[in-house]
Amino acid sequence: GDGGGETDEGAAGGESNVQLVNEGKLTTCTGLPYKPFQYEEGGDVVGFDVDLVDLVAEDLGVEQEIVDTPFDGIQSGADLNAGKCDLAAAGMTITDVREKNLDFSDPYFEATQALLAKKGSGVTDLASLSGKKLAVQNGTTGFDYAQENAKDVELVNFEDLGLLLTAVETGQVDAGINDNGVLYDWVKEKTDFEVTTEFDTGEEYGIGVKTGNKALLELINKHIAEAKSSGKYDEIYEKWFGKAPESK
């Protein structure tokens, strides 16, 4: 619906008056690569989060522009505060600590921490990693989880998921911890590897905006709700994960 888009834009502009940091663009902070939520393919950034935020951008009648920036700047709110972007959609879990530094939308995705290891390596859980190396990503909830729960395990801190996965793949570390969504996606291609366990951390992803940016937050929440009720959400989900969402 082109016509619908126009009316929506008028309505959004009229009721909420969203201020954008870059005129004519909805700027999204994200940390590449984070497949399938966002990653580069053929010169474009694509993925689940990208499609979701595009719904908001369409409503505003602007293009989405994606800024690739280290994840710990995103989750700390620094990038939003610095005006680097309007929102952060980076497969980011809603946590109390992060809530202090930025405002989260309603949850749009359920996730949990999971362990990645080479098949047949005997790494099945944190206990089996005792004395071994576990790759974590700087600033992530996996980092926090491992720090709390993985005693006697050497945590190796990587800048981004790409570096982490490469380290696991090339054997620099014995295993890696990260969100289940991205790990399952990765082992689809790398069949030598498997997700050996999930930690059932019960996390939910949210889209972040600068603290106090009510107008934008409301607009995002509106679209998340709309997408879920209209079936648009399921459509996008299936496009990126190859199957319909299990629970909802």
Partner 1 sequence: MALSRRKRARLIRGTQYAILVVVAVVFALTADWTRIQQAFFRPEVVREMFPDVITVALLNTVIYTGLGFGFGLALAIPLALMRLSSVAPYRWISGIYVEFFRGLPALLVILAVGNGVPIAFPGAILNKYLALMVALGIVGSAYMAETLRAGIQAVPAGQVEAARSLGMSPMRTTIWVVIPQAFKIILPPLTNELILLTKDSSLALFLGASISEYELTQFGRVALNQYQSLTPVLVAGVCYLIITIPLSYLSRYLEKRGGGKKISSPESTGLDVTP
Which residues sit at the interface with partner 1, rule CB under 8 A? 21, 27, 29, 32-33, 39-41, 43-45, 65-70, 72-73, 75-79, 81-84, 101, 133, 135, 138-139, 154-159, 162-164, 166-167, 169-173
Give the nearer residue to partner 1 in terms of CB position, either 40 or 106. Answer: 40
Take residue 33 and report the two structure tokens written for it. Answer: 């690569």
Give the nearer residue to partner 1 in terms of CB position, either 24 or 171. Answer: 171
H helices present in 115-231, as ranges: 141-149, 161-169, 180-189, 214-230
Q: CA angle, 224 as apex, 27 and 95 as ends, to 5°?
A: 75
Please give the Cα distance from 233 to 238 (Å, whole number): 9
Please give the Cα distance from 224 to 107 (Å, whole number): 8
Give the nearer residue to partner 1 in terms of CB position, either 67 or 195. Answer: 67
Give the nearer residue to partner 1 in terms of CB position, either 167 or 215. Answer: 167
Please give the Cα distance from 31 to 39 (Å, whole number): 9
- In the complex, what is the shortest distance from the CB of residue 36 to partner 1, in angstroms, rounded to a whole number? 14
- In the complex, what is the shortest distance from the CB of residue 225 to partner 1, in angstroms, rounded to a whole number? 28
Please give the Cα distance from 64 to 21 (Å, whole number): 12
- In the complex, what is the shortest distance from the CB of residue 49 to partner 1, in angstroms, rounded to a whole number? 15
- Amino acid code (one letter) for 146: A
- In the complex, what is the shortest distance from the CB of residue 105 to partner 1, in angstroms, rounded to a whole number? 21
